[in-house]
Amino acid sequence: MNAVTTPGFDKSAWGALAFDLVLHAAPLADIRSTYGLTLSQFAALLATPAFVAALRDAQAQLREHGAQAGFVFRSRALAEDLLPDIYALAKDERTDAQLRHRIFESLARYAQLDPAVMKKGDAGGGVQVVFNLAGGIRGLSHVVPAVQVVKDD
């Protein structure tokens, strides 16, 4: 039996395990015990390309978030753990319609499917027109006099 098929341990726990390993949250034996992994199961998991990718992702996020990484990782793990419950609420017709709508908006934002949240510099296609007033605006002396038209292809 390998780590992927170990009862009680599936791919949904890989992210949390990767974060615990990257953060050195506890001694390795304690981390393995927490996740119910024997040494051979843990070795098999470390040989799994998808888990190695999860470890690399956790390391990249640690570099990105610095000192706050532990809080961010734990918050993400909690949010991921709550997703099935939130989905059940959204699917339950007895749930208030406004709450169901807010849940949908939140899930779309978490999945980065929200069209209202554009990446920096993304004008949503078409033509973007930027006006800088020649005389400037009182209190905004850093505005350079110019008119710029940018066409996205």
132-147 pLDDT, tens digit each: 555 555 555 554 444 4
The structure's pTM equals 0.51
Give me the residue label for tokens 């996020």: 61
Asked if 15 contacts 58 with a C-beta cutoff of 8 angstroms, the reply is: yes
Find residue 130's DSSP bridge partners.
Answer: 148
The DSSP letter of residue 126 is S
Residue 108, pLDDT score: 82
DSSP 33-45: HHTT--HHHHHHH
pLDDT single digits (tens) 21-54:
988 888 999 999 988 899 999 999 999 998 999 8
